[in-house]
A and B are shown apart, each in its own frame.
Chain A
Amino acid sequence: MAQLFPKWTNKIPVFLIAGVLATLVTVTFGFWYFGSPKYLEVGYRPKQPVPYSHKLHAGDLGMDCRYCHVGVEKSAHASVPPTSTCMNCHSQVQARSEKLLVVRESYATNKPIEWVKVHKVPDFAYFNHSVHVNAGVGCKSCHGNVAQMDERGVMQMEPLSMGWCLDCHRNPEPHLRPKSEITNMDWVAPANQKEFAAKLIAEKKIKPPVDCGACHR
């Protein structure tokens, strides 16, 4: 009797297993790499209505973050400054610049400029800027070196995922600095950072919550 299946069909199970394995590996890798907030969130740099350069203002001119973001030490929201804050200087500095047309128009018509929010936590997570800043977490820990971000806009540098939040809540030590250095983008942890952090944690009774209700309330 002739063979019912030709000889090459012997290889089908091997190919099948190899194929399924390869697909599994690819899907897992793809999901792990491209499905993570480290890929999806980091790098978000929307075009803003005004080509505002943090590099120029906070970097080259050396202005403090809090000159504009006045709420950061006392409220949940760091707050995007009103147009009048821009006009404190730009009523005279670069008063005819075309780049600032939107700003002057906003000032004249009393209509806010609609900035695009870059760093977003989900609506089911409650974040408070002031507790973090007052505990001694610098701006740079979450926002990256903003003083180097030019007129292309602010870029999200951290995934802002739950795992990322918990990393620091479980071990805040590397991210704590003296209150006077909060907005300093060039601050580097000193050699005795461990001692300093331990002292600060004891002094301020820093105990970052890791229960669900801390952020999801």
Chain B
Amino acid sequence: MKRILIAILGASAMAAGCARGLPKDEPPIRLLQNMYRQEKFKAQSENPFFADGSAMRLPVAGTVARGYLRDDVAFYEGKTKEGDTIRYAPIDITMETMLRGQERYNIYCSPCHSRVGDGKGIVVERGYTPAPTYHDNRLRNVPDGHIFLVITNGWRNMPSYRNQISVEDRWAIVAYIRALQRSQNATLADVPENMRRELQIKQ
């Protein structure tokens, strides 16, 4: 009986040493190797054939893929035909746009600008040059296109977000920032009458 106990204890001790789910450095062993790895290039993999070593290629310079012609200056560059920064966002503003803008703003902008746009985001707290608040007269009065261009190209300490945020989303963010500015600079008169009661209760 004693021997059986010792055997069970020993077996469980061994099993504990190599139990499932323990962290390991080595790549997993695959028991069936049949075509597990194939001679093909996947996204973000290396390809020594090309000078830059990347398997993913950019379109050939000067070419445009079908459906990707960006000739809408207002939409893609935030400018009028005369080259001035566009005053109003060239998109239809719907509730959907606003919610999309809110979501994208919270993902990409709020780390620095904070969720209310006062420029006191967590990254600023960690030592980044403070972002300006949206809630001053200068930024309240800039054209929509200015905000779009800042997101696209960066501005002073702010890097460009053209690779992280699509053009459509940048305009949605512009719309949401406008709503933020409005919300932080409103009086009771701006609130529809049937909503005022709710507001007072919440205060």
Check B123 against A123 for contact (C-beta < 8 Å).
Answer: no
Q: Give residues 17-50 of B contacting A (CB, 8 Å).
A: 18, 20-25, 27-31, 35-38, 40, 42-44, 46
Contacts of B35 in A (CB 8 A): 122-124
Does A62 sit within 8 A of B, measured CB to CB?
yes
Of B89-97, B143-151, B157-165, the segment with at least 4 beta carbons within 8 Å of chain A is: B157-165
The listed residue (B15, B40, B103, B123) touching A93 by CB distance below 8 A is B123
Check B44 against A80 for contact (C-beta < 8 Å).
Answer: yes
* Complex Cα–Cα for A87 and B164 (A): 13
* Complex Cα–Cα for A188 and B138 (A): 43
The listed residue (B25, B108, B123) touching A89 by CB distance below 8 A is B123
Known: A67-B108, A124-B35. A33 touches B128 (CB 8 A): no
The listed residue (B37, B126, B129) touching A123 by CB distance below 8 A is B37
Does B107 sit within 8 A of A, measured CB to CB?
yes
The residue of chain B having its C-beta at the shortest distance from the C-beta of A47 within the complex is: B25
Check B129 against A40 for contact (C-beta < 8 Å).
Answer: no
Check B24 against A44 for contact (C-beta < 8 Å).
Answer: yes
Count how many pairs of residues, one from A and one from B, have CB atoms less than 8 Å apart in the complex: 95
**Chain A count of residues within 8 A CB distance of the other chain:** 46
The listed residue (A45, A85, A92) touching B164 by CB distance below 8 A is A85
Does A70 sit within 8 A of B, measured CB to CB?
yes
Does A76 sit within 8 A of B, measured CB to CB?
yes
Contacts of A180 in B (CB 8 A): 103
Does A64 sit within 8 A of B, measured CB to CB?
yes
Contacts of A93 in B (CB 8 A): 123, 126-128
A61 CB, min distance to chain B CBs, angstroms? 5
Contacts of B28 in A (CB 8 A): 37, 40-41, 44, 156
* Complex Cα–Cα for A49 and B123 (A): 23
A127 CB, min distance to chain B CBs, angstroms? 11
**Count class of interface residues, chain B:** 35 or more
Q: Give residues 62-82 of A contacting B (CB, 8 Å).
A: 62-64, 66-67, 70, 76-77, 79-80, 82
Does A51 sit within 8 A of B, measured CB to CB?
no
Does A155 sit within 8 A of B, measured CB to CB?
yes
Main secondary structure of the interface of A (DSSP, over half): loop
Check A84 against B20 for contact (C-beta < 8 Å).
Answer: no
Check A61 against B123 for contact (C-beta < 8 Å).
Answer: yes
The listed residue (B20, B46, B103, B106) touching A42 by CB distance below 8 A is B20
Check B25 against A77 for contact (C-beta < 8 Å).
Answer: no
Q: Give residues 17-61 of A contacting B (CB, 8 Å).
A: 33-47, 61
A99 CB, min distance to chain B CBs, angstroms? 14
Contacts of A64 in B (CB 8 A): 106-107
Contacts of B142 in A (CB 8 A): none
Check A87 against B159 for contact (C-beta < 8 Å).
Answer: yes
Does B122 sit within 8 A of A, measured CB to CB?
yes
The residue of chain B having its C-beta at the shortest distance from the C-beta of A124 within the complex is: B35
Q: A63-B111, A77-B43, A88-B159 are in contact. List 8 more A-B contacts (CB 8 A).
A: A40-B28, A42-B21, A64-B107, A92-B127, A92-B129, A114-B46, A123-B36, A123-B40
9 nearest CB pairs, A to B? A123-B38, A77-B43, A64-B107, A45-B23, A39-B20, A41-B28, A42-B21, A88-B159, A122-B36
